[in-house]
Chains A and B, each alone.
Chain A
Amino acid sequence: MSAKNMIKITNLQKYYRTEEVETVALNNLNIHVKEGEFVAVMGPSGCGKSTLLNIIGLLDDLDEGSYLFNDIEVAKFKERGRSDLRKHNIGFVFQSFNLIDELTVFENVELPLVYTNVPAAERKKRVEEVLEKVQIMHRRNHFPQQLSGGQQQRVAVARAVVNNPKLILADEPTGNLDSNNGNEVMQLLTELNEAGTTIVMVTHSEHDAKFSDRIIRMLDGQVIMETTSLGS
């Protein structure tokens, strides 16, 4: 039996407007992502792949079209609804890690649990588990500046998964890493996917894309091709 759709986006339009110019960022775009799938989104710079990821992550609005998340229409959600959906369902991994410099590794990873009101003892347990998983436990009391890029990204991944999200959105997760660290992160994402987490990853790297089940290729705000990956 094929898995059901977690994400179904239909006729998505997204414009960027200035006073004089209106640029179409995403044009009549249709995609779907099934539960447990690992999808890579590729395309040249400016093709709209990050915009798409941000819309999927409810960090950005869409102008027209429909967005069903687990069969619920979320396109018109207000800020509070988006925030709620995000914190319970979605984890983010960014190219530039986006860890909070003032918080330690432990505290950074703990943050999503703080906002979902998980009790302190439970938080400690879950953070430690996930830090063990990404093999950064020994650095738990360090601040982000004290870590290498690879380590920072592992912390970011840990933060993304600590709340057991159904979906992880990764925006060029290896963009700032060397190949060894990059591979480690990709390995981590693959393991998460194998454990059942749905992953949508934007990447420029054909190498990274091979870790996914399916590659969506975009150009000028439209999907131009979808291919099933053969695996690495």
Chain B
Amino acid sequence: MIKNFIKTAFRNLWKTKGYSFLNIFGLAIGIAAAALIFLWVENQLSYNDNFPNKKDIYIVKSKQTYDGATFVFESTPGPLAQNIEKEIPGIKHAVRMTWNSPMLFSVGDNNLFQNGLYADATITDVLSLEFMEGDRKTAFDKVDNIILSESGAKKLFGNQPALGKTVKIDNKELYIVSAITKDLPKNSSYNFQWLIPFKKFESTQDWLTRWDNNGIQTLIQVEDNANVDQINKQLMNYVKNRTNGEVTFSQNLLYPMERWVTHNRFDNSGNEIEGSLKNIRLFSIIAWIVLLIACINFMNLATARSEKRAKEVGMRKVVGASRQSLIGQFLAESLVLASISSLVAILFVYICIRPFNTMIGQDLQVDLFKPIHLAFVIIITLICGLFAGSYPAFFLSAFKPLSTIKGAKQKAGTGSLIRKGLVVLQYTASVVLIICTIIIYQQIQHNKNKDLGFDKSQVLTTALQGDMAKHLPLIKNQLIATGLVEQVGVSDVSILNIYNNTSGFNWEGKDPNKSILIGMLRADEGLVPALDLKMFDGRNFHTNLLGDSTSVLINETLAKLIRKDGHVVGSILNYGEENYTIAGVVKNFVYNNVYADPDPMLFIPLVRESGLLNIRTKAGIDLPQAIQQIEKIIVKNNPGFPFDYKFLDETFNSKFQAELFIQQLSSVFAIISIIISCLGLFGLAAFATEQRAKEISIRKVLGASVSGLIQMLNREFIILIGISCIIAFPIAWIFMHKWLADYAHHITISWTVFVLSGLTAIVIALLTISSQAFKAAVANPTKTLRDE
């Protein structure tokens, strides 16, 4: 019997090729879109699964409370790791490590920047790094040893063996390659191309012995079945106890690797909130919606075509088919169709995976031999086949045999009402997605275009490397002399990422019980003009920075904390035994969190020999030529270092990665859902006009105009889309209202978005169905009437 069902299914598909194409194509797009989302979800949920010890790995977090607000950092004091490893039972390994940062690597003439970190030797055990060459036990024996990743070694040495070779770092230090490890996958929290023994770093950083300076990370592996709550109890006030109550600003806790990606965000009270889990949930819902829309197409087209199948249903019943066997037949048909769609979808996924990976910056892989992927294909095919086939199966199998074989039309009532309901549901989902996409876009633009308090355009930044700091005045003069550069300023880090902070500043009138965290940026006198920062009060640093070494500039937020009107120029800030005079107040500018009001911060005169050169080029110049000139000057003054630069506005845009990701995905899926809905609408319109061919012909004979007929045929569908809009608007509003609430500065949802989305849906629908209506309206009426 199954053979008979499948045979009939294929013949029916072939007989109505057009509808079958719409069905298969629509469902395939839906399945492919959902598959891509689920691949991404799998990627997110399997983050760090490559580490066999994942469940035992933790990072030490530091909770710090200032002025009622709790911040959670990953920075810890230098002595912490070695002490807790010895003293707290249950900790197997405590690894000191720096953050991933770039360093210049040179092998012969090959100079390039590679990212990596300094870490204790046990990192190779904690992360179970796979050694391709070299010995795990001895790789970190000497401080001048370096472990390279497979790709890092390849970049430096090409296909030549790297083990035992020497690399020069930052044009001064020589290291011996002691091991090569296999690259870690992209969905891993660690992605280093080199590892250098922490001892090397330690030998140059005195502050690492201090308990009050949080400047490194501490990675932990606990013993199997360790009691983490117990460890956390001891860890919480460990620093305070260890320093006899001297260092009290930080409480530490272990934070599990299993939550680094899905959570790892904290509210103002220091409580954990969802991280990417929010997006995972959001996009899983979108995936199911897209699938639902695709399944609805199937249901609609199948039931719309039911009259063509009615005779067959009737005859099958007459010769003895039970309702159950007919339901089975139609479900089998829909499973055949879903299976074909799945095969087409797999093809789509293979075609789209690359651009999709580029879009989301991941390395998603499809592997049909992977049980979970195969299971997905089978489950989705079954769900789509059974769900999409269920309604047509019950609808068609309920036909009365007598009326169908006599050629009587089935009652349109219920069927067409449900069909209309499904179209409304489809378009509601599509309109909601369109509205969300527009609002997310507007919100991102709102943040990007808001007044930052400085001018990020035309500014390029380049790291001070090698001897650049020594030649700084000369480099500055030469750059200005090109006539292409407006201003040059130096800061220790990018103005957009000021993560160096302290609560150690005091001033007259400050509540001694209040601890205020203040961001610190070291800068020279060129930074304020180079970034076009505006002064609220007072002056910039003097050109002779040495003579101004006890001056500071502060931002408006800090100024207003000190005095309500913010006029605090000349006031003294003390930091331990040092006193600083406030020389100027800089108008507030956006840094770190682009969504929030700026936190208090200050500028300290730059004394260090490293940092970032901020170069503002003149407006209206030939930028590529200017960059060439700048490169020439910098390389001349600092030979042996490649010129590497970034535009400040690019750094700024990278702050919106998460939102851009949501926007890109939601716009892609809004388009997909519209396409699928249109395919369905096209099929229904074709069917409706076919059904009404006789009516159209008679109307035409009686004098109806083509435009009048098109209007008549379109009206019904436009009413449906109108109803969809009415349902979609409040849903989208509630959804987006909630989404925007996460942003301190957000747009107000405008009614124009709804009008625009509604009109878009209507115009697209009209374009889809009008071709069918036009075809029917211009057809020769005599032909139809003769056929009847």
Contacts and interface: CB of A to CB of B under 8 A. Distances in A.
Interface of A: 54, 57, 59-60, 79-80, 83-84, 86-88, 92, 94, 96, 98-103, 107, 110-112, 114-117, 159, 163
Nearest to B320: A87
Given A87-B319, A102-B15, A115-B316, 5 more contacts: A98-B405, A102-B8, A102-B312, A112-B320, A115-B319
8 contacts: A60-B402, A86-B318, A94-B405, A100-B312, A101-B15, A103-B8, A107-B4, A115-B319
B315 interface: yes
A111 B319 contact: yes
Interface in B1-59: 1, 4, 7-8, 11-12, 15
A59 B7 contact: no
A174 B7 CA distance: 31
Tell which of B11, B315, B407 has the most Cβ of chain A within 10 Å: B315
Tell which of A59, A88, A159 has the most Cβ of chain B within 10 Å: A59
Interface in B323-340: 323, 325
B321 interface: yes
A208 to B, nearest CB: 20
A124 to B, nearest CB: 13
A67 B232 CA distance: 85
Tell which of A86, A88, A96, A100 has the most Cβ of chain B within 10 Å: A100
B322 interface: yes
B9 to A, nearest CB: 9
Given A59-B401, A60-B402, A107-B7, A100 B316 contact: yes
B506 to A, nearest CB: 89
Q: 3 smallest A-B Cβ distances: which pairs?
A: A87-B320, A115-B320, A102-B11
Interface residue tally of chain B, by bracket?
20 to 34
A223 B325 CA distance: 38
B12 A98 contact: no
A59 B1 contact: no
A121 to B, nearest CB: 14
A111 B316 contact: yes
B317 interface: yes
Contacts of A159: 319
Contacts of B401: 59
B686 to A, nearest CB: 20
Contacts of A79: 322-323
Interface string B494-514: 000000000000000000000
B311 interface: yes
Contacts of A54: 402
A90 to B, nearest CB: 9
B320 A83 contact: yes
Contacts of B322: 79-80, 83, 115
A114 B402 contact: no
Nearest to B319: A112
B680 interface: no
Contacts, number: 68
B489 interface: no
B16 to A, nearest CB: 10
Contacts of B325: 115
Interface string B380-419: 0000000000000000000001100101000000000000
Given A60-B402, A107-B7, A114-B4, A98 B311 contact: yes
Given A98-B311, A102-B15, A114 B1 contact: yes
A196 B354 CA distance: 72
Interface in B273-312: 311-312
Nearest to B10: A102
B323 A100 contact: no
B13 to A, nearest CB: 10
Contacts of B8: 100, 102-103
Contacts of B1: 114-115, 117
A80 B325 CA distance: 11
B71 to A, nearest CB: 70
A84 B319 CA distance: 10
B441 to A, nearest CB: 49
B600 interface: no
A101 B11 CA distance: 10
A203 to B, nearest CB: 17
A106 to B, nearest CB: 11
B77 interface: no
A112 B320 CA distance: 6
B584 interface: no
A112 B321 CA distance: 8
Contact of B402 (A59, A96, A112): A59
A101 B309 CA distance: 10
A117 B405 CA distance: 24
B314 interface: yes
B321 A98 contact: no
Contacts of A111: 4, 315-316, 319
Nearest to A54: B402
Given A59-B401, A79-B323, A116-B320, A100 B4 contact: no
Nearest to A159: B319
Nearest to B9: A102
A83 B321 CA distance: 7
Tell which of A84, A115, A159 has the most Cβ of chain B within 10 Å: A115
Contacts of B318: 57, 59, 86, 92, 98
A60 B402 CA distance: 7
A230 to B, nearest CB: 33
Interface string B423-440: 000000000000000000
A102 B320 contact: no
Contacts of A112: 319-320
A87 B323 CA distance: 13
A99 B316 CA distance: 10
Contact of B317 (A83, A110, A163): A83
Contacts of B15: 101-102
Contacts of B12: 102
B404 to A, nearest CB: 9
Nearest to A60: B402
Contacts of B402: 54, 59-60
Contacts of A101: 15, 312
Nearest to B311: A98
Contacts of B11: 102-103
A210 to B, nearest CB: 27
A60 to B, nearest CB: 5
B315 A100 contact: yes
Contacts of A88: 320
A94 B405 CA distance: 9
A5 to B, nearest CB: 24
A86 B320 CA distance: 6
A110 B321 CA distance: 13
A98 B315 contact: yes
B1 to A, nearest CB: 5
Contact of B314 (A83, A87, A98): A98
A21 B319 CA distance: 33
Nearest to B309: A102
B325 to A, nearest CB: 7
